């Protein structure tokens, strides 16, 4: 059961270089224009809090055991939910996060091979609410494209972090796990073909009617 709170929670997902950051600010602006009475909170994972950003710096740089990595991701998420996401949603705000739990399933599960059962347990712990429901995004944009295209885009503009240094086989597994989750929950996911130009992607996002 997914929690129903007064706010609206949107996550942007996809492999590194898919175009999430490119579109997220304009998308927030669009929602503000459409809903001037609603506050929009922009955030990201790992991160979103002071502690979360410190954990992010470690997670994106320091080598560590796979389970340690998953635990730190979920520790950062717990703090993020408690300090930022839940209070915002309780007070009716729109929260837009650059990544959320689907990324843990895709990267630590699909990519690194950590058991999905373990990740499910962590998800229940960290996103569980007193009424037994799970805090989940209302809507998730999955920017989907082949790893090779994403890698070419990234290499033009930035030095790779720990994840971005992984090979194409890793990113293919991450992508497949994202797609599997999208297929399993079509009501929450909106699949974006990220191989298209930014203009075409923007028209796609803009034409989507979101009932808050
Ligand atoms: N549709 C697109 N076509 C071509 N290049 C793109 C497209 N979307 C984003 N890019 C470029 O790819 C790079 C990675 O995009 P970014 O938004 O940072 O990806 P992400 O946040 O998903 O890792 C950036 O240089 C961006 O300008
Ligand atoms: Mg980004």
The CA 70 to ligand 2 mean position distance, Å, reads 20
pTM of the model: 0.97
Q: For residue 3, what pLDDT is reported? A: 67
Residue 149 near residue 195, CB atoms below 8 Å: yes
Residue count (the chain): 212
CA distance 107 to 97: 17
Which is the closest atom of ligand 1 to the Cα of 143?
22
pLDDT given at position 158: 87
Ligand 1 atom with the shortest distance to the CA of 23? 17
For residue 95, pLDDT beyond 90: yes
- Give the ligand at the shortest distance from the Cα of 16: 1
pLDDT tens per residue across span 153-202: 999 998 999 999 999 999 999 999 999 999 999 999 999 999 999 999 99
Q: Return mean pLDDT, the chain.
A: 97
Phi, psi (deg, nearest 5) at residue 129: -115, 165
């Amino acid at each position: 059961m997914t929690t129903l709170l007064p706010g609206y929670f949107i996550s942007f997902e996809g492999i590194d270089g898919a175009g999430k950051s490119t579109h997220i600010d304009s998308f927030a602006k669009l929602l503000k224009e459409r809903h001037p009475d609603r506050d929009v909170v922009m955030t990201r994972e790992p991160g979103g809090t002071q502690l979360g950003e410190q954990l992010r710096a470690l997670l994106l740089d320091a080598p560590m055991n796979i389970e340690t990595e998953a635990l730190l991701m979920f520790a950062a998420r717990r703090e993020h939910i408690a300090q930022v996401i839940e209070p915002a949603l309780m007070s009716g705000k729109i929260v837009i996060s650059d990544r959320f739990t689907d990324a843990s399933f895709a990267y630590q599960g699909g990519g690194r091979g950590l058991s999905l059962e373990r990740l499910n347990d962590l998800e229940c712990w960290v996103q569980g609410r007193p009424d037994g429901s799970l805090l989940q995004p209302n809507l998730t944009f999955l920017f989907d494209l082949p790893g090779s295209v994403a890698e070419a885009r990234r290499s033009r503009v930035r030095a790779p972090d720990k994840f971005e240094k992984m090979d194409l086989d890793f990113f293919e597994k991450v992508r497949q796990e994202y797609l599997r989750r999208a297929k399993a929950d079509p009501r929450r996911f909106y699949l974006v073909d990220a191989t298209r130009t930014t203009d075409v992607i923007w028209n796609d996002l803009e034409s989507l009617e979101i009932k808050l």
